[in-house]
Structure 1
Amino acid sequence: MPTETINSRLTFDRKDYSDETLLHLYKSLLLPRRIEQKMLILLRQGKISKWFSGWGQEAISIGAVNALEEDEFILPMHRNLGIFTGRGIPLERLFAQFQGKKSGFTKGRDRSFHFGSIDHHIVGMISHLGPQLAIADGIGLANLLENNKKATLVFSGDGASSEGDFHEGLNVAAVWKLPVIFVIEHNGYGLSTPNNEQFAFKNFTEKGPGYGIETVRVEGNNVLEVYDTIRRIANDIRENPRPVLVEAITFRMRGHEEASGTKYVPKDLMEEWGNLDPVDNYGAYLQSIGILDEKTKSEFDSEIKAKINQGLKVAYAENAIEAELEEELGDIYASHTPSLVSPGKKSEEKRFVDAISEGLYQCMQKHENLVLMGQDIGDYGGVFKITDGFKKEFGGERVRNTPLCESAIIGAGLGLSIKGWKAMVEMQFADFVSVGFNQIVNNLAKIHYRWGQNADVVIRMPTGAGMGAGPFHSQSNEAWFFHTPGLKIVYPSTPADAKGLLAAAIEDPNPCMFFEHKGLYRSISGPVPTDYYTLEIGKAKLIQEGGDVSIITYGMGVHWAQDVVNELKLSADILDLRTLLPWDKDAVETTVRKTGRVIFLQEDCLTGGIGAEICAWISEHCFEHLDAPVMREGSLDTPVPFAGNLEKQFLPLDRFRNKLKELSDF
């Protein structure tokens, strides 16, 4: 059949596709359009709270979803309703999601398209948009490691391409040759900001070569062109893995969301793109070649409307969601009952750094699905040499040097987890985690609560001051994450605890921030069981017993506390929290009841630190057991200084010694 033109911009070429395929694409296009029409009515009626329209862009989603195999992951955005309908998600569940009902995919905890479904191989977006590209990288990496010849497809709008995550996602995919298709919906505006205020180039075909990525531009309103292009690319990268950037030229015909409107769009531009409607033009093309007639068109319409009405009927019939406290709290973490592996009898004296290295090595032996990622962790062995020799033993596929892009690597860890792998991401210094903060607090931490997907990712954090490293290599930033439900925070103080807790963190299917004080790496040693073992996360440890005062601390604070107690010859409980989130309330209450005098010691700056929360809890829940004010000490509320005398003043040791005397004399 020859190429036919229905509109000067839309030229349809059926190639060798069957009538059934062409009709299926039309019917697939019609479903999200009819749902949109219905949702706009419901929005005006106040039956849904918000709507992000993909009107005029349906051909991109429908072409893409039909071009991929059903078990290949797609990561959609706001305007990709067709991905969800194209994967056969039951409409009653989709509509329940839009209405915040319990049977929706997020149990009323998130809205619209902010959800995923592993059964349908869809990973939902978060409002920050760009981070999804890195998750696609992780899924693509898992496919590469499994050698399963699968493609992954991720969407981005042209506005989101201004984010750093866009650059990081493309760069990692290019460097690692990941089989990922990046589809850019080039629709003219980021909310109300036109493209010429977003970027200085005209088309993304100019951008791809800079990353070493081939780029293809398609007419995004032409479902046949999108379908054929994505299908061809997917077939190719399954056999020859690499990323490809697909720029789909289209236009957003309605507001960013309905309340925004489109008054900022020139009228003639709206009229021009209105004539390029993907549903109307493709339907007219099928009629022109005799595949679609009015009778069939009407039958499709009736069938789809009936399906929508039935789905709405079921969703409406469901009662409004009721808040259940136990369920809300219970869904913060993925369920995990650890089978603790007891330490063996044989042990060796090891430095803190060597205990961590040995623990990580044994985890790599135990978990064949564990991938290590970080800057310089390969041949170089990491800046602290913790992974020295790992690449030679386990190979570069599992011990992966990364580009300098914390956000993308953390996101890739989540993508690996979605595919059933485990990921350990090493921050070269804990300070650098700020560049990946969004991935941690908004993706890793919230994903299980939002739609039941766990994040099996451990982020190792070399932390702490005392080495004259200055403001950007010395910060104690554990409190940044302490406020975030869904994370676990582990902070060991001894070599034996470091090894056992690291193994436990890697076994745990939840995201874990694992802090390692750099000052302890080579300054302390202790007996460490030789074989693999785990310790329970969430359990504090009483390091030293006494009756006069309770010192609650963690990390380097444990060693400071021991030194000062011995110096002052005090009888003190020293409680090492070991886990900061969740923290051991029972152990804290026990020591408070015992001594009646409590001081919390942290290396972090005093204001807003973890000690403030725990001291407040003690005052609220253990007040009747107190014989003195609850005290705390921490570092100065300044950045960490470089010069030795300044850093000594910054750190809390001298102030802690004085305050402990004051407390014991109270």
Structure 2
Amino acid sequence: MYFDRSDLTDTELVSFYKSLVYPRMIEEKMLLLLRQGKISKWFSGIGQEAIAVGATLALEDNEWIMPLHRNLGVFTTRRMPLEKLLLQWQGSENGYSKGRERSFHFGNREHHICGMISHLGPQLSIADGVALAHKLRREQHVSLAFTGEGGTSEGEFHEALNVAAVWDLPVIFLIENNGYGLSTPVSEQYRCAGLVDKAIGYGMKGIQIDGNNLLEVYHTIRNARAYAIQEQKPVLIEAMTFRMRGHEEASGVKYVPPELFEEWGKKDPIAQYEAWLLASKILSQEDITHIREELKHSIDADVAKGLETAPFAADTATELNDIYAPAAPAVAASGQTSERRFINALSDGLKQAMEQHPELILMGQDIAEYGGAFKITEGFVELFGRERVRNTPLCESAIIGTALGLSLEGFKSMVEMQFGDFVTCGFNQIVNNLAKIHYRWGQTADVVIRMPAGGGVGAGPFHSQTNEAWFTHVPGLKVVYPSTPADAKGLLAAAIADPNPVLYFEHKALYRSISGQVPDNYYSIEIGKARLVQPGDDISIITWGSGVHWALEYTLQRRDISIGILDLRTLQPLDYSAIQEIVAATGKVLILHEDTLTGGFGAEISAWIAEHCFHLLDAPVVRCASLDTPVPFAAALEKNFLAKARLDKCISQLSQW
């Protein structure tokens, strides 16, 4: 194995050796502890250390790395204390994630490491967002994301690389090709000669390297970094290596031909580099022995401290409080008001939020010059420029991941789903990355996803869903669903000011059909507070979105019944106090929503009322919802589908009890 030292000094080369040997010796210690039952699980990177160590050495300490579970060398090279790492691996409250995450599924802002989730692809898109932040600030930095050869089969790999290429982002995608995705060999993973060939399709530079050669990894990443910064373009690097142990220790290695271990054992990155240092007389055997003894002593001492952890008691209040980051207080409305349609109130609110938050970036399909499918951002490019109002390729998942990456660097993001139905393509990023990241390691996901939703416009099964119930179940998300122009503007301002991920639903049928008085100046409405639309004595309707207007229309037809209406406005977090008050007012409750009946959010509200307000009820809680079918296209079918068609029947039933 040839080592090109270039302009590296002897001191640097020795330091590199220590960085390379250190994670190997830690791993050997961890494997011993695993056999002793002192740790529960281990994903070994033995044989692959040169990639993680070399790449980390090649970057600046303040450049974000998105590692995977076999990249111990990233954490150690970034000088994360082993004692605290061991606490993390043990699930201690004093680890990096307060016992909430296992092994390397955690991040740390101080060391600029973004923790992975088990769905491997999303790391790549987060790196796009960090790189975009650097590009917007004209900073001389890159981001780097690891993936394995198996991960390149995921859709997120394609999406992330495509976004990086289209937007000319200074990001390095590093593939660790170790020959196996768990037990599946590369012959069953892809058909191209090398994964580096995929770079051609994205119009980016691709480089294949010997991943077991520490200096080749270092120089390649260093040069790729310089190129990405100077040219403002991404780079794909495929590092060829081999995993000398199982996917994780319990899986074993019986599926690997024995001759491969012999072949790759001769290419061991530490043995090869060590031999070169000896041959070059940079180190002597005595030096190597001394270095290893020092490292062993240090590891043993840190491990002893890390194992001295006492079990800790879970505190429910602490757990619940850490779901969300603290939100900014609401800004009261002031000054004059004007008549605005729902859609104009949204546009006005978004425009004022752009003025209020210079770090806010808008992303979505066709939202720039075209103004979006519903023209909400029309004229924004002229006001704020194309850097802040960004057309995106058709890749919802990567754009949501990019938004999270922007959050790592202090930016806010608004991602517009062209139709709320399309959010399924970004579901993983929302429910597993955005929703959980603050609870996992305290990182905010300062992202608003706007969701044009709902039926009544003859758009059929894939442009008419109102799918809020998919997200109300996920801790860490906030779900907002306004029904009036004033609320639409004020809640959008609050959502953007909020550092937590917000799913912001906008009913398409309300865009141009509903008008109302809206404050001209910037203001916000507290998320989590319902609005009493009107009081009533006989029946209470709890609803949101289009249901508010269906309820109001119905009350005009039924003057013989005194109906109270509560507009929840926010579904997560939920205003339980307001719900209890309107239940107490009438004792008869109807929950009205446009979503389908089974599993709709109305079921959750009904269950809560039955559990906490049973003594206030004079009748069973009734749910009025849409049919349990996809949203049909034909006008007659859609009218029959919508909950509005059954509202009178449900009210009549409730009145008779």
Q: Match for 1:319 among 310, 328, 333?
A: 310
Q: Match for 2:89 among 75, 78, 98?
A: 98
Q: Match for 1:156 among 123, 147, 150?
A: 147
- Distance of 2:304 and 2:570 partners within structure 1: 48
Give the equivalent residue in structure 1 for 2:588.
Answer: 597
Q: Deviations over 1:459-478 (max 9, x none)?
A: 00000001110000001110
* C-alpha deviation, 1:205, in angstroms: 2.2
> How many equivalent residue pairs?
656
Q: Match for 1:50 among 33, 41, 48?
A: 41
Give the equivalent residue in structure 1 for 2:566.
Answer: 575
* C-alpha deviation, 1:16, in angstroms: 2.1
Q: What letter corresponds to residue 103 of structure 1 in structure 2?
A: N
Q: Deviations over 1:286-322 (max 9, x none)?
A: 0011011111111111111122112112212221232
Give the equivalent residue in structure 1 for 2:603.
Answer: 612
* C-alpha deviation, 1:233, in angstroms: 1.4
Q: Deviations over 1:418-456 (max 9, x none)?
A: 100000000000000000000000000000000110100
Structure 1: give runs of 5+ residues left out of the alignment. Answer: 1-9
Q: What letter corresponds to residue 473 of structure 1 in structure 2?
A: H
SS of residue paired to 1:542: strand
TM alignment of 1:365-404, pairs within 5 A: 365-404=355-394
- Distance of 1:403 and 1:559 partners within structure 2: 36
1:81 aligns with 2:72: yes
Q: Match for 1:427 among 403, 414, 417?
A: 417
* C-alpha deviation, 1:598, in angstroms: 0.3
Give the equivalent residue in structure 2 for 1:7.
Answer: none
Q: What letter corresponds to residue 632 of structure 2 in structure 1?
A: P
TM alignment of 1:60-79, pairs within 5 A: 60-79=51-70
- Distance of 2:104 and 2:208 partners within structure 1: 26
1:243 aligns with 2:243: no
Q: Deviations over 1:592-620 (max 9, x none)?
A: 11110001001000000100000010001
Taking structure 1 as the reference length, the TM-score comes to: 0.98
1:529 aligns with 2:514: no
Q: What letter corresponds to residue 464 of structure 1 in structure 2?
A: G
SS of residue paired to 1:209: helix
1:361 aligns with 2:358: no
* C-alpha deviation, 1:525, in angstroms: 0.4
Q: Match for 1:289 among 280, 291, 310?
A: 280
1:506 aligns with 2:501: no
SS of residue paired to 1:112: coil
- Distance of 2:195 and 2:312 partners within structure 1: 44
* C-alpha deviation, 1:209, in angstroms: 0.7
1:139 aligns with 2:120: no
Give the equivalent residue in structure 2 for 1:409.
Answer: 399
> Any conservation in 2 of the 1:117–1:123 contact (CA below 8 Å)?
yes
Give the equivalent residue in structure 2 for 1:482.
Answer: 472
Give the equivalent residue in structure 2 for 1:330.
Answer: 321
Give the equivalent residue in structure 1 for 2:435.
Answer: 445
Q: What letter corresponds to residue 388 of structure 2 in structure 1?
A: R
- Distance of 2:402 and 2:197 partners within structure 1: 26
* C-alpha deviation, 1:568, in angstroms: 1.4
- Distance of 1:396 and 1:53 partners within structure 2: 45
- Distance of 1:468 and 1:315 partners within structure 2: 62
* C-alpha deviation, 1:483, in angstroms: 0.4
Structure 2: give runs of 5+ residues left out of the alignment. Answer: none
Q: What letter corresponds to residue 198 of structure 1 in structure 2?
A: Q
SS of residue paired to 1:41: helix
Q: Deviations over 1:129-152 (max 9, x none)?
A: 000100000000000001111011
Q: Match for 2:547 among 522, 545, 557?
A: 557
SS of residue paired to 1:303: helix
SS of residue paired to 2:110: helix
SS of residue paired to 1:480: helix
SS of residue paired to 1:601: strand
Q: What letter corresponds to residue 563 of structure 1 in structure 2?
A: E
Q: Deviations over 1:505-555 (max 9, x none)?
A: 000000000000000000010000000000010000000111111100000
SS of residue paired to 1:82: helix
1:33 aligns with 2:24: yes
- Distance of 1:18 and 1:323 partners within structure 2: 51
> Any conservation in 2 of the 1:138–1:413 contact (CA below 8 Å)?
yes
- Distance of 1:205 and 1:190 partners within structure 2: 17
- Distance of 2:549 and 2:297 partners within structure 1: 70
- Distance of 1:140 and 1:226 partners within structure 2: 21
TM alignment of 1:615-634, pairs within 5 A: 615-634=606-625
- Distance of 1:47 and 1:380 partners within structure 2: 60
SS of residue paired to 1:381: coil
CA 1:345 to 1:16, structure 2 compared with 1: closer, same or farther past 3 Å? closer
Give the equivalent residue in structure 2 for 1:5.
Answer: none
1:274 aligns with 2:233: no
Q: What letter corresponds to residue 431 of structure 2 in structure 1?
A: V
- Distance of 1:339 and 1:262 partners within structure 2: 56
SS of residue paired to 1:215: strand
> Any conservation in 2 of the 1:422–1:456 contact (CA below 8 Å)?
yes
> Any conservation in 2 of the 1:500–1:534 contact (CA below 8 Å)?
yes
Give the equivalent residue in structure 2 for 1:6.
Answer: none
Taking structure 2 as the reference length, the TM-score comes to: 0.99
Q: Match for 2:167 among 176, 179, 199?
A: 176
User: Which stretches of structure 1, 4 residues or more, deviate above 2 A after TM superposition?
Assistant: none
Q: What letter corresponds to residue 273 of structure 1 in structure 2?
A: W
> Any conservation in 2 of the 1:204–1:215 contact (CA below 8 Å)?
no
Give the equivalent residue in structure 1 for 2:329.
Answer: 339
- Distance of 2:151 and 2:600 partners within structure 1: 34
SS of residue paired to 2:445: coil
1:223 aligns with 2:211: no
> Any conservation in 2 of the 1:108–1:321 contact (CA below 8 Å)?
no
TM alignment of 1:188-203, pairs within 5 A: 188-203=179-194
Q: What letter corresponds to residue 481 of structure 1 in structure 2?
A: F
Q: What letter corresponds to residue 51 of structure 2 in structure 1?
A: I
Give the equivalent residue in structure 2 for 1:3.
Answer: none
- Distance of 1:588 and 1:193 partners within structure 2: 53
